[in-house]
Homo-oligomer: A and B are copies of this chain.
Amino acid sequence: MKMSEQHDVEANRELVLRFYQALERGDFSLEGILFDESYKQHSVMAGDGVKGLKEMAAWMAKEWPDRKLTIHQTICEGDKVACHVHFERWPGDPGLAAVDIFRVENGKVVEHWDVVQEIPTEFKHNNGMF
């Protein structure tokens, strides 16, 4: 990123962290505020747009009422925010590991990609996934 582009990476990071907090507590009212109406979805878990996102969030809240999200690292550059996330669906769940990548324009998320995998119970090392 050229500094002249003047992306506010700290504001973008904060915006995305607000979204995770809303997702964890099942507050769907925020999604129309944080996400632009042009929001483009690349995750295989959701339909397109804010509508698809709300449906997925509602499904997650119903399916996993005791879910817990832990953000292990955020990496921001230009208009992008990447987050490395542990998603425990229920207490004691080894959980899902995910990286979400958000693109932010004018203070709203306009595009999202993710990669998600189940965390296995056995590893070839003792370092864990995070």
- CB pair A52 B129 closer than 8 Å: no
- Point out the residues of chain B lying under 8 angstroms from A46, CB to CB: 124-125
Min CB distance A123 to B, Å, is 6
Q: A39: shortest Cβ distance to chain B, in Å?
A: 11
Give complex CA distance A127, B103 in Å: 15
Is A69 in the interface zone, CB < 8 Å from B? Answer: no
Stretch of A15-23, A24-32, A93-101 on the interface side:
A93-101
Judging by beta carbons under 8 Å apart, are A9 and B99 in contact? no
Interface membership of A11, Cβ < 8 A: no
Q: A120–B46 Cα gap in the complex (Å)?
A: 13
How many subunits of this chain does the assembly comprise? Answer: 2
**B124 close to A47 (CB less than 8 A):** yes
Chain B residues within an 8 Å CB radius of A44:
117, 119-120, 123-124, 129
Q: How far is the CA of A108 from the CA of B79 in the complex (A)?
A: 26
In the complex, whether A54 has a CB less than 8 A from a CB of chain B is no
* Residues in B neighbouring A80, C-beta threshold 8 A: 73, 75
Q: Are A113 and B130 in contact (CB under 8 A)?
A: yes
Q: List 8 A-B contacts (CB under 8 A).
A: A46-B125, A47-B125, A52-B125, A75-B75, A75-B77, A99-B99, A99-B101, A115-B116
